Structure 1
Amino acid sequence: MNNLILGRYIPGDSLLHRLDPRSKLLAMFIYIIIIFWANNLATNLLMTVFTLSLVFLSGIKITHFLKGLRPMVVLILFTTLFQVFFTQGGQVLFQFWIIKITSLGLSQAALIFMRFVLIIVFSTLLTLTTTPLSLADAVESLLRPLSRFKVPVHEIGLMLSLSLRFVPTLMDDTTRIMNAQRARGVDFGEGNLMQKVKSIIPILIPLFASSFKRADALATAMEARGYQGGDGRSKYRLLSWKFLDSLALLSLLFLGGLLLLFKN
């Protein structure tokens, strides 16, 4: 649980830390779009160099990004192997029964692998350099034009803020419950797959119960204090868009132009 990266912020004074959270969130969307334009060695190398440069600028140790990759290893490997064994085309390199490995399958697997890794590294970079509450404010600010269409923008931002705020609390509750179950003789690492799944049930039930109690207590406290969101409510954290934020988005658009130029 201590290795969980979601919702974790590492304080710093780097160039990326000082960017407006709205620009970083928009950069994330642009990055996800343009990475699908990288379909050969040159464009993937360009994306890798760009991403590693941002990691260097952040001043954060590479071990934190490896922790962000760790929970996704199974999904990455499954998707990569799926591409290797089920993509047909190109020169046949190996064949046994229904298993056939082709040059096109290997190239597609390599592309999928690089996209997964780079997207996870970039998203980890976003969460490590931006506080969760700033991200929630950025989402609310970017969705504000939708309020004209009766979309509850403030409520969406509030739910996101509360969700991110209580991620560490839920992790603490999970650790506490697991320690209590271990003291009662439960072993979460032994047995086959079904036994491991059944051992999770004694964790989920008290975790859900404590979460609902905490949510009810929070709602009562907000009502007792007369909380009312929406128009007219001031903010403690004010977002400020600077020239550096525009420059960051322009650099991503320039990178996208280079990818379109060099892609197959």
Structure 2
Amino acid sequence: MLRDITLGQYYPADSILHRLDPRVKFVGTIVYVVSLFLFHNWGYLLGTVFLAVMIKLSKVPFKFITKGLKSIFVLLAITMVFNILFTPGEVLVRIWKITITREGVAMACRMSVRLIFLMIGSSLMTLTTTPNQLTDALESLLGPLKKIHVPVHEISMMMSIALRFIPILLEETDKIMKAQMARGADFESGNIIQRVKNMVPLLVPLFISAFRRANDLALAMEARCYHGGEGRTQMKPLRYQTRDYAAYGVLMAYLVCSIGLRVCGL
């Protein structure tokens, strides 16, 4: 399951999305996430079509994108159960003290779709954008905050490092699990609680490995005379192209349609 997490990974390909300015993709992801919470019924059809087109344009295999959904299966199941059982409304089924309502089922479906689309949309951004590009994009978008002395570069760098460490730590966890399984550890049998308890011995070596990697990264940055964002320049400055302005136009049209569907109650 750890290898199935795609968030934070980069998938190299020659596609329109890969060539877009990272700022466009960052803004596009935010617009898409916001639109998911505007939809009621027919709006989800618009969101599905938009996401399907983006996946097609990215040239990232659909199976590679969707395998990341395995990591949120438990969260998805918990979300559905809570919405089904605790949303008041028209009663469909009543078993002892358990009541299932029509509104609860509808809310569970909506929240599940939102969670799935949110995961796929976020993964699509990281799959088509390198960590360095994400750092530059975030620093550029937050640039106006420098006027009020907000450490924009440092914040962007921390977020970039955090994203980059996700697949690294997952790979490290997988190695530790295999090493302990070779010594007789069992991580697959038992109920959920027992499996969680079996994962506890992984924490100590994982934390040690994470701190070691963080220390190595800090030493490497110091050796390269890194001292923060002041006075730093970019090897590849971000510049908008015609395709980026066209992409902004598509995003604006999508957002207007989403708001229109919300206003119309669709």
Q: What is the TM-score of this pair, normalised by structure 1?
A: 0.90
In structure 2, the partner of 1:86 is 86
Q: CA deviation at 1:52?
A: 1.0
Matched, 1:159 2:158: yes
CA contact (8 A) 1:93 1:101 kept: yes
Partner deviation per Cα, 1:56-103 (whole Å, 9 max, x = no partner):
1212221022212111122122212222222122x4322222222222
Supply the distance in 2 between the matched residues of 1:256 and 1:26 (Cα, whole angstroms). 12
Matches within 5 A, 1:61-76: 61-76=61-76
8 Å Cα contact 1:140-1:154 kept in structure 2: yes
- Which runs of structure 2 are paired with 1:153-232 in the superposition (5 Å)? 153-232=152-231
Aligned to 1:237: 236
Which residue does the alignment assign to 2:23? 22
Stretches of structure 2 that go unaligned for 5 or more consecutive residues are: none
Q: What's the offset of the Cα at 1:115?
A: 1.4
Residue of structure 1 in register with 2:136 after alignment: 137
**Amino acid corresponding to residue 18 of structure 1 in structure 2:** R
Contact kept in structure 1, 2:4 and 2:70, CA below 8 Å: no
Partners of 1:133 and 1:165 within 8 A in 2: no
The residue identity in structure 2 corresponding to 1:45 is L
| Structure 1 segments unaligned to the other structure (5+ residues) | none
Shift of 1:126: 1.0
In 2, Cα distance between the equivalents of 1:11 and 1:86?
44
Per mean C-alpha deviation after superposition, the further-off stretch among 238-247 and 68-77 is 238-247
- Tell me which moved more, 26-35 or 187-196: 187-196
1:216 Cα offset (Å): 2.3
Counterpart amino acid of residue 246 in structure 2: L
Matches within 5 A, 1:37-76: 37-40=38-41, 42-76=42-76
**Corresponding letter in the other structure for 1:125:** L
SS of match in other structure, 1:17: helix
Distance 1:65 1:149, change over 3 A: same
How far apart in 2 are the matches of 1:49 and 1:169? 33
Q: 1:85 to 1:146 in 2, by over 3 A?
A: same
Instruction: Output the CA distance in 1 between the equivalents of 2:85 and 2:253.
Output: 36
Give how far 1:192 is off: 4.2
Residue number in structure 2 paired with 1:110: 109
Distance 1:218 1:10, change over 3 A: closer
How much does 1:242 deviate?
2.0
Further displaced range: 13-22 or 105-114: 105-114
Q: Secondary structure at the match of 1:37?
A: coil
On the 8 A contact 2:5/2:69 being kept in 1, the answer is no
Shift of 1:194: 4.3
CA distance in 2, matches of 1:223, 1:55: 39
TM-score by length of 2: 0.89
| Matched position secondary structure for 2:94 | strand
Instruction: Give, as a single letter, the amino acid of the residue that structure 2 aligns with 1:53.
Output: V
- Contact 1:133-1:164 at 8 Å conserved across structures: no
The reply to whether residue 6 of structure 1 matches residue 38 of structure 2 is: no
Pairwise CA distance, 1:205: 0.6
Which moves more between the two structures, 129-138 or 17-26?
Answer: 129-138
The C-alpha deviation readout for 1:207-251, integer Å capped at 9, x for no partner, is: 211222232233233334432232322222322222322322322
